[in-house]
Amino acid sequence: MVRKLDDVVLVAGHGGMVGSAIVRRLRALGYNNILTAGRDEVDLRSQADVQRFFGVHAIDQMYLAAAKVGGIHANNIYPAEFIYENLMIEANVVHAAHVTGVQKLLFLGSSCIYPKLTEQPMKEAALLTGVLEPTNEPYALAKIAGIKLCESYSRQYGRDYRSVMPTNLYGPNDNFHPENSHVIPALLRRFHEAVQVQAEEVAIWGSGTPRREFLHVDDMAAASVHVMELDEAVYQAHTQPMRSHINVGTGTDCTIRELAETVASVTGFNGRLVFDATKLDGTPRKLLDVTRLSSLGWQASIGLEDGLRDAYRWFVENHDRFRGRSATSWGDLPHGCRIDPAGVDRSGGRESARRDSARAAEQSTGAG
């Protein structure tokens, strides 16, 4: 392991759930020079902005956790924005990092890079072996391009640019917005509000039988730093030049019913869970193969129930910012990695997507 605590470490996307968790992890390990920047300082979509920013900071290593993200509606209606802006962020940052001598970089992608019908659990070798999920194909292609950028600069210029692909993430600083949150924050909020009004039941989209994998964001941050700190020879020995990315997950999954039951327990909801089996379930199973990461000495340490309690505690402590928004309608999951749970209301149409896309653009295109 290589840990250089005095290195200047840039975390691009530090304002988001993953980026903020990486900052917490680095601080806990004793890193002394963590660099962050808000959108007012650098727009990562702008090549000139990025070149200027990298030109005035002597960066030793960086984590690229910034991206334009959005829900299914936004991905469907604004595919050009999702592919263009993510490609620009990745190309601008990776190239500027190379030109200014940043030797180490970690790119954070998405499990949506894998084909829609790939074998489960999904191995790194499955990349580019089949058709992608149509609803988020432009976004997924941009993420694949990010992997290939890192591989190409490493192969041609001898850089040490690595990539990790996380499973479904949750935890502190998650998006609990009622229109476009992921399944876990959606369920936590829905059950919380059901307890507040003493509701007798909570309706959940689908049969509850699909199986999904969930990783606490603090585990994701720990895995990211672990991969970054690996000796270069060790990293290369466990990957291939053209398949250099590493899956990050728990290696275990659960049914949506089991997830909902655990959320009910965590939030203190004692009513009925009503699964609407007339609604589509989506893919029966989605699980990452984490053999490569395990062979490199890392495994997840936060169990699902403990992680949910942590996420719920954060929500309760911060829920004032969410007041005034009813949980009667629920947006689709970002990135096309949807789980189709929680009574998702897909009637929002173009206007919902417009709001979703606007929020995503504001939140994710700066270094913060």
Binding residue numbers:
13-19, 108-111, 143, 166-169, 182, 190, 205, 212, 281
- Annotated catalytic, 312? no
Binding-site annotation: residue ranges for substrate: 190, 205, 212, 281
- Interatomic CA distance for residues 308 and 264, integer angstroms: 10
Q: What angle do CA 305, 308, 313 make, to 5 degrees?
A: 130
Catalytic residue among 31, 63, 139, 153, which? 139
Structure tokens at 45: 């979509």
Q: Nearest to residue 308, comparing CAs of 218, 211, 204?
A: 218
Structure tokens at 200: 């007798």
Q: What angle do CA 161, 80, 284 make, to 5 degrees?
A: 75
- Interatomic CA distance for residues 38 and 19, integer angstroms: 12
- Interatomic CA distance for residues 82 and 89, integer angstroms: 11
Structure tokens at 272: 């009925």
Structure tokens at 150: 């890192």
Q: Which residues contact 143 (CB under 8 A, 6 or more apart)?
A: 67, 86, 109, 110, 112, 113
End-to-end, the C-alpha distance of the chain in Å comes to: 28
Q: What angle do CA 24, 27, 29 make, to 5 degrees?
A: 110
| Cross-strand pairs, 162 | 106
Residues that are catalytic: 139
